[in-house]
Amino acid sequence: MNFIHISDIHLSDKLDFDSSNSKLIRKIKWDSFEKILKENKDKDFLLISGDLFERDFFTLKDYQKLFEIIKDFSKDVYYLCGNHDFIDGKNEIFFSDKPNNLHIFPSEIIEFFEHKNVRIYGISYKDRIFDKRFNYNLSLNHDYYNIFIGHGVFNQNNTNYMNLDLEKISNMGFDYIGLGHIHKKEKFSDKIFYVGSIEPMSFKDKGDFGYNFIDENGVKFINSSQISFNAFDLDLNDFKNFEDFKKYLGEKLVKKYNFLTINLSNYDKFPLNEKILKDNLNLSYLKVNLIKNQNYYKNLAFVYDSTILGDFYKHFDNLDMDGPINKRALEIGFDAILRSKDE
């Protein structure tokens, strides 16, 4: 027996980028999802533990495309609905055309599907909020390999999501517990996993992204993501010239769709051509933030010594400017004063 487990794909999600970059990320997520299924047609079945798509933005064409991909996979897919893709009266009509190999957990109470000598237990959301109690007294038949998939959190009493007691569910006797909702992969034991998302979706997402492959040898995580978000704090004083800077970045980046933010200090040491940087490094996205050091503000305050700008700077003269709060307050204050001057 072998199978794969994925979660939190968020197909057709709304993103915090401009339209062109959001469109690219959405395309990559579709491609990544389809690629995983195409490369795993030899597996026995697939588990999806929620948030497969973003229901508020999922169109009829999206449902049709999703069903074609799953149908082409041909093996059985066991899928529960999370807080972003729950099925209700507004979208259940689309599932009347679902492929026969797509099996959806129908309710907010734990139920199971049988696949040969395997029982797959799961619970679906019927709304964005999940407030039902979990049945820890479930009696498992250990003639079967027992799997539980869920979408929620551990040991958080004040939550809108399915709240599971880690110790209690650990003692229920499941052979594999695969969870969704948290986008970063995490292992709690040899049998309990957050698989994470198949792709990162913003600069907040760190680490590896992909899916779990499970067979008689155990659980193996497959890093299959095609997107990489990188944020570097760099100082041009550490580089000889633009070519040296470009070479450094090229060595740091992986061969994926790279989204890159650079927070750049001493940016006036040599000219920086962002277009050449983006083209030569094949970057999908590039943003350079120019970081002004304290001397910039000190010199500007000296020029405008007898103005509100100079008076404002004097409040920071004896403060610890290595702290992020003081630095940010200085930046915001100067920016506000200079903007009001321009107006």
Q: Are 157 and 131 in contact (CB under 8 A)?
A: no
Question: Nearest CA to 16 among 290, 261, 292?
Answer: 261
CA angle 287, 288, 292 (to 5 degrees): 145
Contacts of 83 (CB under 8 A, 6+ apart): 50, 51, 125, 127, 128, 129, 130, 151, 160, 161, 181
**238 close to 263: Cβ distance less than 8 angstroms:** no
Backbone φ/ψ region at 76: left (φ over 0), alpha (ψ -120 to 50), beta: beta
User: What Cα–Cα distance (Å) separates residue 174 from each residue in 32, 191, 255, 272?
Assistant: 29, 8, 38, 56
- Contact predicate 102/74, CB 8 Å: no
Residue 303 sits at the vertex; the CA angle it makes with 299 and 307, to the nearest 5 degrees, is 120
Per-residue pLDDT of the chain (343 residues; tens, 9 = 90+): 999 999 999 999 999 899 999 999 999 999 999 999 999 999 999 999 999 999 999 999 999 999 999 999 999 999 999 999 999 999 999 999 999 999 999 999 999 999 999 999 999 999 999 999 999 999 999 999 999 999 999 999 899 999 999 999 999 999 999 999 999 999 999 999 999 999 999 999 999 999 999 999 999 999 999 999 999 999 999 999 999 999 999 999 998 999 999 999 888 889 999 999 999 999 999 999 988 666 667 777 777 788 888 888 888 777 776 677 887 787 788 778 877 755 4
Round to whole Å and give the CA distance between 264 and 343.
28
The distance between the two most distant Cα atoms of the chain, rounded to a whole number of Å, is 84
Closest CA to 9 of 46, 45, 49: 49
The encoded tokens of residue 317 equal 């003269």
Strands (DSSP E) contained in 59-115 are 76-80, 102-104, 111-115
